[in-house]
Structures are given as C-alpha cells and as structure tokens.
Amino acid sequence: MRIGFTYDLRDDYLRQGYSEEDTAEFDAAETIDAIESALRSLGHAVDRIGGVEPLVARLAAGDRWDLVFNYAEGMFGFAREAQVPALLDAFQVPYTFSDGLVFALTLHKGLTKHVVRGLGLPTPDFAVVSSADEVARVRLPYPLFVKPVASGSSIGITAASHVSEPAAPAAVCARLIEKYRQPALVETYLPGRELTVGISGTGARARVLGVMEVVFTAEAEAHGYSYANKKLVHAQYRIVNDAAAAEAADIALGAWTGLGCRDAGRSA
C-alpha cells in the first residue's frame, strides 16, 4: 500500500520557538524514523506528511493514500487530536487508530470520566473548575489532586498538584488555568501504584497486551507521575502481572471498548 504518515515532530515546533513543555507530547525524529522503517519493512511505500497544516495542503492539492498511519497530536484546542482524523473522514481516506469523536472526548478528562462513570467503571470523584472562584463549590474529601483537564505527557502536573489543605486548591487551580488556558480537573487523590495498560484491537476483538508499572526513584517528586519526574527520568518501568495488574487490565479494557477506541493504544 501507499501509506501516508501523519505526525508532529518535536524539533519542528522547537525551531518555531515553542518551549520544551509546549512540545512535550510530540515525538523525536528517531521515533518517526523507526515507525517509517517498520512500515517499509512490511513492504509498504511511505509518504511522510507531517501534521495538520501540511495535511490540509496535500489534500487540497489532490493527494490521496491507500491508508494514513496517523501519529499526529495537534497543537491547539480541545479537539487537537481529532483534527487529522476529521479531515481524513471528510476526504474519505482510511486511517489507523481512533476517530475524531473518540480523540476529542478522551483528551478532555472531565468528559471522559462522566462517560466512564456512566459505563459503571470506577473513577475517583471529581470536579472541573474554570476559575479559582469555583473551587469553593467543590465538595470532595482531602487530599486532592489537581491537573489541567486536557493535557497529556504529565504537562501541568507538579508536586503542588497534590493538595492536602483547603486553603491550597484555589491557588493551584488559578495557576493552571492561567498558564495552560484551560479548566483544571480536581479529583479525590487516588493513592497506590501507577499502572498503564497496553491494548490492541477494536470492539469485541480488543485485548490487553500487557500492564506496565511506573516505579519512581528516590529522587522523584512524590504523589504522582509529574512532568519533572518524566523529564528528569525519575522513574523506571516494569511489566507486571499480579492481581492489581489484572484488575487494572479489566477496567482499562472496559473503558477502551465503552469509549469506542480503535486499533491500539493504552489506558493509564
């Protein structure tokens, strides 16, 4: 097949003046090269496209592909991960991974939690606040955990995200809302292990590939998988298959199928 390859290369955005944190969700050149090499090793012709802007130009110029391997993240808006799938749907070009509806829903953690709760799956009690003034109306037991509602790669998560005193959450929320220009997600803090579940397949054919645990080093910030812990490599990773992993796998698979996710991904 002739496969188009959509992606966001971190170096491209750094050259445009975006910061390390702005581009934390994007991929290094080695990752993009490795994916292209893997696709070519299967006998496919690979056409590198890039992100949403070059995709718009290519589609407008009449370019089409048998399939698009979509690895793009997008930069702006709650629906940024949905932009490439939505464009490809509009031009009836098939692509890998979830569609725009799923990406738009799951990027917003508050909306995702409403759906997950509707599916009967466990999730910590939460509130989404758009201003520091709204924090006074939050009725959740302490400690709390506060983070941006629609960021990935631990962006916005610091040691201050763990809130144990009623006087603190308003200041934490105000700082996040101003810096990241999005609401804050306030949750009842969930102690315990940090697990992520790899999943392959769609619908009834979806299956768990494995469960990985994030184990923090002695130098790590406490209480969460923060941006600093990721950036400074204050974590180690191991495959686990104990009872907690099995429970996490069941919950993750239920969320995956209930949300309508496709092809492959992970649930943390």
Give how many domains the chain has, as a whole number.
3
Q: What are phi and psi of 116, to 5 degrees?
A: -60, -40
Per-residue pLDDT tens over the stretch 80-135: 999 999 999 999 999 999 999 999 999 999 999 999 999 999 999 999 999 989 99
**Shared-domain flag, residues 84 and 10:** yes
Label the pairing between strands 45-50 and 207-216: unpaired
**Shared-domain flag, residues 8 and 92:** yes
Compute the CA torsion angle 227, 79, 81, 128 (nearest 10 deg).
30
Q: Tell me what pLDDT residue 245 has.
A: 97
**Shared-domain flag, residues 10 and 98:** yes
Arithmetic mean of pLDDT, 1-28: 95
Arithmetic mean of pLDDT, 33-37: 98
Q: Please state the length of the chain.
A: 268
Residue 236 to residues 28, 115, 158, 194, 243, Cα–Cα distance (Å): 20, 31, 18, 11, 20
- The b-or-e profile of 76-97 (16+ CB within 10 A means b, else e) is eebbbbbbbbebbeeeebebeb
**Shared-domain flag, residues 6 and 91:** yes
With residues binned 3-state (H G I as helix, E B as strand, rest as coil), the percentages for the chain, rounded to 5, are 40, 25, 40
**Shared-domain flag, residues 17 and 81:** yes
Q: Is residue 235 very low, low, confident or very high in pLDDT (cuts 50, 70, 90)?
A: confident
Q: Is residue 222 very low, low, confident or very high in pLDDT (cuts 50, 70, 90)?
A: confident
Looking at 74, 105, 136, which one is the last position of a domain? 105
**Shared-domain flag, residues 115 and 101:** no
Beta bridge partners of 45: 2
Question: What is the C-alpha R_g of the chain?
Answer: 19
CB atoms within 10 A of CB 171: 14
Report for 81-90, 134-143, 223-232: range of highest mean pLDDT: 81-90
CATH number at residue 138: 3.30.1490.20
Q: Is residue 230 very low, low, confident or very high in pLDDT (cuts 50, 70, 90)?
A: confident
Q: Tell me what pLDDT residue 177 has.
A: 97
Looking at 105, 132, 154, which one is the last position of a domain? 105
Q: Tell me what pLDDT residue 25 has.
A: 92
**Shared-domain flag, residues 161 and 83:** no
User: Does 21 have pLDDT greater than 80?
Assistant: yes
User: Does 147 have pLDDT greater than 80?
Assistant: yes
Q: Tell me what pLDDT residue 265 has.
A: 96
Q: Exposed, middle or buried by CB within 10 Å (0-12, 13-18, 19+), for 198?
A: middle
CA 42 to chain centre: 28
CATH number at residue 241: 3.30.470.20
**Shared-domain flag, residues 174 and 211:** no
**Shared-domain flag, residues 91 and 11:** yes
∠ CA 176-177-183 to the nearest 5 degrees? 110
For residue 151, give the amino acid letter. S
Which domain range does residue 211 map to? Answer: 194-267
Which pTM value belongs to this model? Answer: 0.92
Looking at 143, 164, 188, which one is the last position of a domain? 188
Sheet holding 162-163, edge to edge: 126-129, 184-188, 144-148, 162-163
User: Does 231 have pLDDT greater than 80?
Assistant: no
**Shared-domain flag, residues 143 and 198:** no
Compute the CA torsion angle 153, 157, 158, 160 (nearest 10 deg).
180
Dihedral sign of CA atoms 221, 223, 228, 233 in order: positive
User: Does 219 have pLDDT greater than 90?
Assistant: no
Q: What is the DSSP letter of 27?
A: B
CATH number at residue 77: 3.40.50.20
Per-residue pLDDT tens over the stretch 36-72: 999 999 999 999 999 999 999 999 999 999 999 999 9
**Shared-domain flag, residues 142 and 91:** no
Q: Tell me what pLDDT residue 189 has.
A: 95
Per-residue pLDDT tens over the stretch 166-215: 888 999 999 999 999 999 999 999 999 999 999 999 999 999 999 999 99
Q: Is residue 220 very low, low, confident or very high in pLDDT (cuts 50, 70, 90)?
A: confident
**Shared-domain flag, residues 91 and 130:** no
